[in-house]
Structure 1
Amino acid sequence: MAAKFRIAIIFLVFGILCLLLFKLIGSELDENGFLREPFFLIPIGWAFLFLGLASFLWILLKKNKLH
C-alpha cells in the first residue's frame, strides 16, 4: 500500500522542502536597495503541496470506488 502513496509523499516532501528552504535562505537588501530573495520557491512549494494532496485524494477515491 505504501507504494501507491510514494509519488504523493514525494510531492509533499518536495513542497515542504521548498517552503523551508525559502525560510532558511531568507532575504536581504543589496547595496542598491533591491530585495534579493528566492521567491521562486514559494509557488513551486505550493504547487508540490497541491500535487501531493491531489494525489492522495485521487488514490483514496480510486480505492473507495473499486471496493
Structure 2
Amino acid sequence: MKNKYFLASTPLILGIISLITYIMVGTKVEPDGTLREPFYLLPFGGLLVLTGIVLILFIGITSMLKKQNN
C-alpha cells in the first residue's frame, strides 16, 4: 500500500476502533441513577470515519486525474 493511502486510511481505522470501543464498553447505570457512558467516542469516531473517507476519495480522485493527464 502506498504511503499516501496508509496516511489517509489511518483516521478511518481509528474511527472504526473508536466506534467498536463505544459498543463494547456500553453504558452503566450507577446505583444513584447516574448514567455512565463514553459518549465522547461517538462524535470523535464519526468524525474520524468521515475524515478518512473524504481523504481516501480525494487522494483517489487526484491520483486518477494525474494519471489521465499524463
Q: Does the alignment reach a TM-score above 0.5?
A: yes
Task: Give structure 1 stretches of 5+ with no counterpart.
Answer: none
Q: Distance in 1 between matches of 2:47 and 2:2?
A: 22
CA distance in 2, matches of 1:64, 1:38: 40
Instruction: Give the structure 1 partner of residue 34 of structure 2.
Output: 34
State the match for 1:3 in structure 2: 3
Which runs of 5 or more residues in structure 2 are unaligned?
none
- Higher mean alpha-carbon deviation, 45-54 vs 3-12, is at 3-12
Structure 1 outlier segments of 4+, above 3 Å = none
Q: What is the root-mean-square deviation in Å for CA atoms of aligned residues? A: 1.1
Deviations 1:39-60 (A, max 9, x none): 0000000000001000101101
**TM-score, normalisation: structure 2:** 0.87
* Matched position secondary structure for 1:5: helix
Based on CA coordinates, which of the two structures has the bigger radius of gyration? 2
Name the structure with the higher helix share.
2
Between the two proteins, the alignment pairs up a number of residues equal to 67
